[in-house]
A and B are shown apart, each in its own frame.
Chain A
Amino acid sequence: MTIDSKSLIFSKLSDDSDVSSFTCSDSKDLEDFLRNDAKIRQREKISTTYLVHSGTDLVGFFSLSMGCITSDSLKKMSLEIEDPPNKYPALLLARMATKDGLRGQGIGREMLKHVFAMAFRLTEQIGCRFVKVDAKRDPRAIRFYENYGGFIQITQNSETIQMAVDINKIGDEENSITV
């Protein structure tokens, strides 16, 4: 199945959304999340999930929450004095997945583009300094976020690598680029 990434349709998950056709054998966690938890989380206002369709086929999804990055201050570390940590509000890309058999066709890139577009809109209304993602411990996933999102790895646990990108300077960057 060939996908035209430019004709993808984005919509918010609703109680009526049928997600039963979505499969992600690389990560059953992601599949389970969409099938069993995404609607519950959305009702609880913990995360909001967006579905991506190509025609009538569900080909991907991503879920967003608000997050925070807390980092010890340099002053505290270098001078060993009490100093409050730096706290940065962040848009958290909590889950993102492309359907089995459709990877490498630009669906992930289009989803990431929507995430950044939402972040840019958010920053006009509320403070949002970073986009943060919980990436699978998979070199392909890490490369994807580094390459297409300019993310860096900031910490990790046994299951995921947390990555972030500072969106404060992105506007400056655009101004210096000839389109």
Chain B
Amino acid sequence: MDSLTKCGPLKTKKKKGIRQEINFHFLTVTLKLSEDYFNNGELSNIVTHERWSAMAKQIELETILRGEEARAFNKYVDAPKQHFTPESRALFREARQLSKEWP
């Protein structure tokens, strides 16, 4: 709780009697909030700490390729089809058909 209180008062949506999730950068804390919390809205009044767990690994959106990896990738972009297998071609075909069937 020390690390939490260092964050200072948190502005959260006040909903009485429900569990509330507060997201920090890499952590999710589920808190059960006391009546006192709703009276003055300060984090120090939280009475039970239900869950403190590290979130799963972040989703890495960007891939950055340099050096040999970039060289190999650029070569691949010139001729990607040589890596298609009979199974992947069949899957692409089915996927294309499926995409056409969707409304």
Q: A112-B91, A121-B102, A149-B91 known; A159 and B57 CB under 8 Å? A: yes
Q: Point out the residues of chain A lying under 8 angstroms from B18, CB to CB.
A: none
Supply 17 A–B pairs (Cβ within 8 Å), ascending by A: A36-B28, A37-B28, A40-B55, A41-B59, A66-B61, A69-B65, A90-B63, A113-B94, A116-B95, A117-B99, A134-B60, A147-B88, A150-B89, A154-B63, A170-B96, A172-B81, A173-B92
A70 engages B56 (CB within 8 Å): no
Q: Is the interface of A mostly helix, strand, loop or mixed?
A: mixed
A150-B88 in contact (CB<8A): yes
Given known contacts A71-B73, A132-B63, is B98 in contact with A146 (CB within 8 Å)? no
Name the interface size band of chain B. Answer: 35 or more
Q: Provided the pairs A40-B28, A70-B62 are in contact, do residues A169 and B89 lie with their beta carbons within 8 angstroms?
A: no
Chain B 72-103 interface mask (CB, 8 Å, partner A; 1/0): 11101100110111011101111110110010
6 further contact pairs, Cβ within 8 A, besides A77-B70, A152-B76, A162-B63 = A69-B73, A74-B71, A92-B61, A149-B91, A150-B89, A174-B96
Give Cα A179–Cα B90 distance, bound, in whole angstroms: 9
Q: Which one of B76, B85, B94 lies within 8 Å of A147 (CB-CB)? A: B85
Using a Cβ–Cβ cut-off of 8 Å, how many residues does chain A contribute to the interface with B? 64
CA distance A116 to B98 in the complex (A): 9
> A36 and B88: CB pair below 8 A?
no
CB < 8 Å A-B pair total: 153
Where chain B touches its partner, the secondary structure class is: helix
User: A53 interface residue, CB < 8 Å from B?
Assistant: no
Q: Does A57 contact B (CB under 8 A)?
A: no
Q: Is the CB of A173 within 8 A of B61?
A: no
Q: Which residues of A contact B102 (CB under 8 A)?
A: 117, 121
Across the interface, which residues of B come within 8 angstroms of A36, CB to CB? 28, 53, 55-56
Return chain A residues, CB-CB under 8 Å to B23: 40, 44
A152–B70 Cα distance when bound, in Å, is 13
* Residue B15 lies at the interface, judged by CB distance under 8 Å to chain A: no
Q: Is the CB of A71 within 8 A of B74?
A: yes
Residues of chain B contacted by A159 (CB below 8 angstroms): 57
Q: With A68-B61, A121-B99 known to touch, is A148 a contact of B91 (CB < 8 Å)?
A: yes
Our pick among A37, A149, A162 for the contact of B56 (Cβ within 8 Å) is A37
Given contacts A67-B63, A69-B73, A92-B61, contact A117 B95 (CB under 8 A): yes
